[in-house]
Every structure is written in structure tokens, then in C-alpha cells.
Amino acid sequence: MSFVMTSQEREAFLSDVHVGVLAVERAGRAPLAVPVWYDHEPGGEVLIWIRRDTAKDVALRAARRFSLVAQSEEVPYRYVTAEGPVVADDIPPTHEQAGAADRRALPAGRPGPRLRGRVARPGVGAGAHATREVAEQRPEQDLTR
């Protein structure tokens, strides 16, 4: 039995709801590895949600590339790692992106905070004072198990 996923299986896995871990290099320190909200549609970029002026934001702006690991915590254990350059950043998330992130993180029927379905979000939408931003990555390499 092979644990290696096909390209289509990797895209589908990455597009599903999983724990996302961002890894990005830092000068003179170990790489930063932290959980993040992410979104991905098959064939598209990986979108991550971060707050401005955080360690993640500073490291991403310096490195201009990152890896994201999406993993399953159920047997059989599986994961996909996407690695590539940052192709866009400093963009406030749109209401559509915020809604998609809510649906990914808080699927229907799953307990979650009362924020589900909320329309007004600080830092969301054009013209907003963006305290959050979306960074996009074009995956170049991936690993699977």
C-alpha cells in the first residue's frame, strides 16, 4: 500500500479542513512554525490569515516564501506540505474570504464561537483599517504521506 498521494489527492486533501501549520525561516533563529488559518482551492494559491506586525508577518515579509503543512489526526495519518513563494501580501481579506474561512474552521453542526456568520469584522473588506492580511503562496513543491 502506497502512502504517496496523487496530485489530485494532494489538492483535495489541502482543500479540506485540516490543522494548518506555517513554517517560515528567520535570520539567526530556528524557523518559525505556528498554526494558521488557511484556505485553498484545487489549482489555486494557498491563502493564510495573519495579523500585521506579528512574528509571522515579519518573518514572511523577510523570507518571501513559506511552507504550510496540513495534517490529519486520524488513522491512517496523512499530511500534505506545500512550499513556495509569497505571490501577494498586505491585502485585507474580503468578506467572501472571511466567510469561506469561517465555514472551513467552523463547519455546520460543529460547536464554535458565536462569531459564525457574523458579517462585520474588523480588518475585513476594501477600505477597512486592516489589522489582518492575507498572504498568498503559489505552491511549487509538495510532500505527502
Whether 1 is covered by a domain: the verdict is: no
Total residues found in the chain within this entry: 145
Tens of pLDDT, residue by residue over 119-145, are: 334 444 443 334 445 566 677 766 555
Check whether the bond before 92 is cis (ω within 30° of 0): no
Domain limits for position 11: 7-144
- Number of folded domains in the chain? 1
Q: What CATH number is associated with residue 111?
A: 2.30.110.10
Residue 2 inside a domain? The answer is no
The Cα–Cα gap between 134 and 137 comes to: 10
pTM, rounded to two decimals: 0.73
Paired with 88 in beta bridges are 136
Nearest one of 91, 97, 74 to 128, comparing CA atoms: 91
Residue 82 lies in a domain: yes
24-52 tens-digit pLDDT: 999 999 999 999 888 888 888 888 878 88
